[in-house]
Amino acid sequence: MVRPTMEDVALRAGVSRALVSLVMRGSPKVSELRRSAVLKAAEELGYSPHAMARSLASRTSTVLGVMVSDLHNAFFAEVVDGIDEVAREQGFDIIINTGGRSPARERRALESLLSFRPAGLILLSPVVPATAIGKAAEQLPVVLVARSSRVSTVDTVNDDGEQGARLAVDHLVSLGHKRIAHLDGGEGTQAGPRRRGYVAAMEAHGLVPQVVSSEYTDAAGARAIRSLIDDDALPTAILSCNDFNAVGAISALEDAGLRVPDDVSVVGYDNTSLAALRHVSLTTIDQPRAEFGRLAADALLQRVREERTEPVRHLLNPSLVVRSTTAPPGGSR
């Protein structure tokens, strides 16, 4: 249960601790003779370097912290894939922590991540207040994904939510819908742009916006639909704040004996793997998720290497993915 140290390896290989250190870091200024002796000793002892001691001594870190606000959402898994890809390429490791969509838990997660003194931090759709992010950004480079920021030391990677919402509304209008409600993401990040895009697009078409407060979960989507039904205010089409919400909405509609898309059309947002399932086959707005991750990691590593000081604001273009949950209104399929 007690791991060998550099000292142990040095002793066994008959060299100094400093030499072992050089070998471990792949220094070219070590003779082949010594190198192999050290590697052999390390192998025999089952030695592997102590990352913490290393980063303490070198005052550098090869770790990127990633805070995932909600592990249940597959959206983030793909972003993490993108981050991981770039990080690994450049010799960095990532450690993940999750906030469970609760600001308090997320704050704790952030604190915990920070206590490892990583080289930088990527926050995926954080829900903590902007001040908490600003405070973190004073200590190390921070990149935000799916959330915007005005802080000049923080880079951001987002999709253009206004444009995405517009694409969805245009699609529904072109199908003939006039009464289109938006299930709003509430406090959720990116809910603002989507709502604004929705309202602007509706008005551009001369239609009346109908914003229903909801959240980024399937339960919330179902709840919103039930309240619409109770209020007798159900439109012919729904634009959900995300796919989860949309799937919840569809469940509630079906529970109420309504058919999708015959009676009500539903559009999601995010194009998660969920939406792509045949059985769901949700019309939705796609975001280049892995690209989000890659761009975020790139931006972060630029800051880590101090190659750049001006903020970067990636705004990627979303696209409409038409599947089977949208159709002309009035059961006229």
Partner DNA sequence: TCTATTGGTTGGAGCGCTCTAATGCTGTAG
Partner DNA sequence: CTACAGCATTAGAGCGCTCCAACCAATAGA
Applying CB under 8 A, which part among 94-102, 167-175, 202-210, 313-321 lies near a copy of itself?
94-102
Distance between CA 279 and CA 247 in Å, rounded?
11
Each residue 55-94 as x (binds DNA by CB under 7 A) or -, in order, gives -xxxxx----------------------------------
End-to-end CA distance of the chain: 67
Q: How far is the CB of 121 from DNA (least distance, A)?
A: 18
77 binds a copy of itself (CB under 8 A): yes
| Given 36, 40, 53, 174, the residue binding DNA (CB under 7 A) | 53
User: 116, 160, 207, 315: which one contacts a copy of itself (CB under 8 A)?
Assistant: 116
C-beta closer to a copy of itself: residue 169 or 239: 239
Distance CA 326, CA 41 (A): 65
The minimum distance between CB 133 and a copy of itself, in angstroms, equals 14
Beta-strand pair 180-184/284-286: unpaired
Q: Give the Cα separation of 88 and 20 in Å (integer).
A: 24
Please state, as a whole number, how many other Cβ atoms lie within 10 Å of the Cβ of residue 262: 14
Nearer to a copy of itself, 25 or 88 (CB): 88
Q: Which of these segments, 41-49, 161-169, 195-203, 294-302, binds a copy of itself (CB under 8 A)?
A: 41-49
Among the listed ranges 21-29, 153-161, 308-316, 324-332, the one in contact with DNA (CB under 7 A) is: 21-29
Instruction: Report the partner that residue 218 touches, choosing among DNA, a copy of itself, none (CB closer than 5 to 8 A by kind).
Output: a copy of itself
Residue 162 C-beta: closest distance to a copy of itself, Å: 28
Round to whole Å and give the CA distance between 151 and 136: 11
Kindly calculate the radius of gyration of the chain based on its CA atoms and give it in whole angstroms. 25
Rounded Cα–Cα distance for residues 80 and 90 (Å): 15
Binding flag, residue 18, DNA (CB under 7 A): yes
Contact (Cβ atoms closer than 8 angstroms) between residue 12 and residue 43? no
Residues 295-324 that bind a copy of itself (CB under 8 A): none
Among 18, 52, 233, 322, binds a copy of itself (CB under 8 A): 52
What span, in angstroms and rounded, lies between the C-alpha atoms of 326 and 186? 24
Query: In this complex, which beta carbon is closest to a copy of itself, that of residue 203 or of residue 255?
Result: 255
The rounded Cα 249 to chain-centroid distance in angstroms is 23
Q: Rounded to the nearest 10 degrees, what angle do helices 161-175 and 191-204 cross at?
A: 40
**CA 279 to chain CA mean position, Å:** 25
Q: What share of the chain is helix, strand, coil (3-state, %, to 5)?
A: 45, 15, 40
Q: What does the DSSP 8-state code read for residue 333?
A: -
**103: preceding bond cis by omega (within 30 degrees):** no
Residues of the shown chain interacting with a copy of itself in the complex, contacts defined by CB under 8 A: 1, 3, 46, 48-53, 55-56, 71-72, 74, 76-78, 80-81, 84, 88, 93-98, 100, 108, 111-112, 114-117, 135, 138-140, 218, 247, 250-251, 254-255, 273-274, 277-280
Residues of the shown chain interacting with DNA in the complex, contacts defined by CB under 7 A: 5-7, 15-19, 21-22, 24-25, 28-31, 33-34, 47, 49-50, 53-54, 56-60
